Structure 1
Amino acid sequence: MAEPRRVLIVAYDDAQILDVACPSGALDIANHYRPTPPYAVELGTLGGGAVRSSSGIGLGGGQRLADVRGPLDTLLVVGGLGHGPAAASPALVAQIRRLATVSRRVAAVCTGTFLLAAAGLVNGRRVTTHWRFAPQLAAEHPEVAVDPGPIHIRDGDVYTSGGVTSALDLTLALIEDDHGPTLARNVARELVTYLHRPADQAQISMFLSAPPPGDRLVRDLNGYIAAHLAGDLSPAALAARAGVSTRHLTRLFAEHLGTTPARAVRAVRVEAAAHLTRASRLPLDAIARRCGFASAATLRQAFLDHYGMTGDTIRRMTDMPRPRAAAGRQTPAP
């Protein structure tokens, strides 16, 4: 039987606990689906033993990085509020650089990319990080091609992901790479998550980027649209639900989302349909009905308009391209 893939998660003081929990939890669930566990997960810290997460909860059981010997399948460096001091630690950076030489692949979650950059592991590579810190990473490491858009990126044997819960998407993608889509979907179902998002989905889409807190109406409509894709989401219906005129609704969407109600609804419908096409085996006509499209033909045209490709192409691909036009997609400034 194949030996478990050895995964070392590197943590430090003020690391984000979700950056540790998402990968380790997903890999643990994967282990329960196979007679021989496919992964052996370890936690490593510079001094060995426990470190403090940014939430104040301790992460115990870490082994001293200097004592870790290869080979490793995956070296995964987490992010968090402590990424600055961690990246400035010559001892920690040196251990990451050493361990990368005995690892089949290297990954970083969120601001863990700063540590890979400090170690010189991503020079000339395309990487991502949390959107809020992307300008800082680009300024500090001009030798690195920083793309703040996707939720995760693979460049050769280096994988980087965006903020926090994108660690889950990255881990599901790694599981799929290693063991195929069935295991990845089983893990996603156990986690009660929406399968996993395509790598090139924007970290912050129009419907995840909340409007200003003072405008509850737009925020509530965003949630309603996402939860009722197959329903009547015409501007008139949305305006009636919100208790405003269609003209006023149009003004609100233009002000807070930078698009019209109709375009906003179409964008979220086609994004949801792309998820289902990519991660399920439902026929296209069923996906169309579920996501509020009149027919499979209408959905095919939406895919062509939005992504420049057909549903069959999307289903065959590991990653999806970004939308052709960024209309309505606003990324808040850091």
Structure 2
Amino acid sequence: MTERRVVVVGYDAAELLDIACITTSLGVANLHGVKPAYHVRLASPGGHPITCGTGLTLLAQETLERVAGPLDTLIVSGGIGHLAAADNGVIVAHVRRLARESRRIASVCTGASILAASGLLDGRRATTHWRWAPSLASRYPKVAFDPEPIFIRDGEMCTAAGVTSALDLTLAFVEEDHGAGVARSVARNLVTYLQRPGNQAQMSMFTSAPPPANELVKQVVDHVTGHLDADLTAATLAAQAGVSERHLTRLFLKNLGQSPGRFVRQARTEAAAHLLTSTTLPMAAVATRCGFGTVETLRQAFIARYGIPPSQYRATQSSTGARQI
């Protein structure tokens, strides 16, 4: 193999970031001298320029209908034009054709709708942008859409979540093709985190929503995130807030969509994930600092949230320069 042929499928109102995260990451990998190098091309129906959802125009390098395999990787971008693209028989037919000639097939964000329309995701578990997951699950009932993970790999088929998760997916491809060292170097050049595990939740409690509008809930949330090793039972939190446990639960469900107990567990688990990847603290110390009490309790919570034990998470996700604190 002299080069790895990668084709990114674009269309009108595709998302520019979906495309750029892929092409830039692979381009940076080439600058690191990977062998075989990636030969990346953007293909569009008719080879026409595509106007991205943000209004910028991209010139396609290939005519989708004329692209021929074998390909190393076929990647379908997402974007606000994904439903029109999924209803476009030409796009769907040629994606289906090229998938048969590709070693690896992937979609980013709502590009999963085009793979689903082609039948390539039937009977498979897949992810997409969390906002679109319910409607795509209804539109394509043969696909098991999971809105939680950053990306999912099912054999040769890979689906990534919203927008910048294309970085995570592409870095995973670089690591698979050329090793962790190269992937880490690419990530450093991109000034991005290497790398969020595929099963990490798309939405973190630290980034998913603005502070709750209800002042009492905000005060309780602030207390929880600042005192993870304290007694944070619903009864204790309610007593501190001066309300009944039932009333506090109602407020949490209304403002955060989850009970106080579930919020506490999520906060502790995400804090533990941060400590595991950024420090060399022993597992028992991480469990204690985050309020789990025992390593086994931490392990159970971690598996429930991320699908892997904390030891595996640390082994694969620890950043360089982790510190003892």
Distance 1:215 1:194 in 2: 33
Identity of aligned residues (%): 44
Please report how far the alpha carbon of residue 214 of structure 1 lies from its aligned counterpart in structure 2 after TM superposition.
4.3
More helix by share: 2
Please report how far the alpha carbon of residue 120 of structure 1 lies from its aligned counterpart in structure 2 after TM superposition.
1.3
Please report how far the alpha carbon of residue 268 of structure 1 lies from its aligned counterpart in structure 2 after TM superposition.
2.3
Distance 2:102 2:155 in 1: 13
Question: CA, structure 1 residues 300+234, in 2 after alignment: closer, same or farther (shift >3 Å)?
Answer: closer
Q: Over the residues paired in the alignment, what is the CA RMSD in angstroms?
A: 3.5
Q: 1:273 aligns with which of 268, 272, 275?
A: 275
Give the TM-score, by structure 2 length.
Answer: 0.78
Contact 2:287–2:295, Cα closer than 8 Å, also in 1 = no
Give the TM-score, by structure 1 length.
Answer: 0.76
Q: Which runs of 5+ in 1 are unaligned?
A: 237-244, 319-334
Could you give the per-residue CA deviations for residues 13-66 of structure 1, whole angstroms, max 9, x where no partner exists? 000111101111111111111264631111000111310000000111331112
State the match for 2:68 in structure 1. Answer: 69
Question: CA, structure 1 residues 293+186, in 2 after alignment: closer, same or farther (shift >3 Å)?
Answer: farther
Could you give the per-residue CA deviations for residues 258-289 of structure 1, whole angstroms, max 9, x where no partner exists? 33686454232113235x28xxxx6444x988
Distance 2:93 2:310 in 1: 45
Matches within 5 A, 1:1-334: 2-34=1-33, 36=35, 38-211=37-210, 214=213, 247=241, 256-257=255-256, 258=258, 259=260, 263=265, 265-274=267-276, 276=277, 283-285=280-282, 294=289, 300-301=295-296, 303-308=298-303, 310-315=309-314
Q: Secondary structure at the match of 1:19?
A: helix
| Aligned-partner residue type, residue 142 of structure 1 | P
Q: Secondary structure at the match of 1:73?
A: strand
| Aligned-partner residue type, residue 185 of structure 1 | R
Could you give the per-residue CA deviations for residues 95-148 of structure 1, whole angstroms, max 9, x where no partner exists? 111111111011000110110111111111111111111122121211212212
Question: CA, structure 1 residues 246+317, in 2 after alignment: closer, same or farther (shift >3 Å)?
Answer: same
State the match for 1:242 in structure 2. Answer: none
Distance 2:294 2:42 in 1: 45
Distance 1:29 1:218 in 2: 45
Q: Secondary structure at the match of 1:47?
A: helix
Question: CA, structure 1 residues 132+311, in 2 after alignment: closer, same or farther (shift >3 Å)?
Answer: closer
Q: Which runs of 5+ in 2 are unaligned?
A: 232-238, 318-325
Distance 2:72 2:223 in 1: 43
Question: CA, structure 1 residues 19+207, in 2 after alignment: closer, same or farther (shift >3 Å)?
Answer: same
Worse overlay, 47-56 or 36-45? 36-45
State the match for 1:322 in structure 2. Answer: none
Question: CA, structure 1 residues 33+20, in 2 after alignment: closer, same or farther (shift >3 Å)?
Answer: same
Q: Secondary structure at the match of 2:42?
A: strand
Contact 1:7–1:72, Cα closer than 8 Å, also in 2 = yes
Could you give the per-residue CA deviations for residues 170-189 of structure 1, whole angstroms, max 9, x where no partner exists? 11111111122212221222
Question: CA, structure 1 residues 72+300, in 2 after alignment: closer, same or farther (shift >3 Å)?
Answer: same
Aligned length, in residue pairs: 297
Distance 1:59 1:220 in 2: 47
